[in-house]
Amino acid sequence: MGNVEEAFKNASTVIEYEYTLPIQAHACMEPLTATANVVEDSCEFWVPIQSQDVPVLVAMQAAGSKPEKVKVHMTYLGGGFGRKVEADYVIALIVASKLMNRSVKVTWSREADMRGGVYRPPTLVKLKAGLDADNLPIGIKSKSCCSFC
């Protein structure tokens, strides 16, 4: 820790950049798809997802199952790019399986995913770096602003 403003005064070079990032879809490579089988108080599903924790929580709420009664089979994942961290796309099939009392598989179209998908918010980042005579950083200051709606 130190005084970053003092480091900028002593720097041989000070570089400042401003980066803007637009709204962008967390669009995965392959379509969203999942299969669920809800039987009584247990829920089992097969899904290409980036984490098992979130779908277990979703299944507990959507199917009314206890955590030990939820089994997630993580299938191969092509390119999730952040979209498959979310488990919103498994809710409908868990509910459908529970109501129909049978296995249900749902595959979303690209259009449906883009309409209901998860988007990265617009972001502005201001970065300032002070470098010494060997072009090594001696002070870095960063400010970022983004909106999570």
Sorted by where each begins, the domain ranges of the chain are 4-23+121-146, 33-117
Amino acid at 91: I
Alpha carbons 26 and 102: distance in angstroms, whole number: 31
Q: Which string of DSSP letters, residue by residue, matches 34-78? A: EEEEEETTEEEEEE--S-SHHHHHHHHHHH---GGGEEEEE---S
pLDDT tens digits along 112-140? 888 887 788 899 999 999 999 999 999 99
Q: State residue 142's pLDDT score.
A: 96
Q: State residue 86's pLDDT score.
A: 84
The architecture that CATH gives domain 33-117 is 2-Layer Sandwich (3.30)
Could you tell me if 91 and 58 are in contact, meaning their C-beta atoms sit under 8 angstroms apart? yes
Alpha carbons 59 and 55: distance in angstroms, whole number: 6
pLDDT tens digits along 7-58? 999 999 999 999 999 998 888 888 889 999 999 889 998 999 888 888 889 8
Q: State residue 26's pLDDT score.
A: 83
Alpha carbons 56 and 99: distance in angstroms, whole number: 19
pLDDT tens digits along 74-106? 988 887 787 888 888 889 899 999 999 999 999
Residue with tokens 């868990």: 94
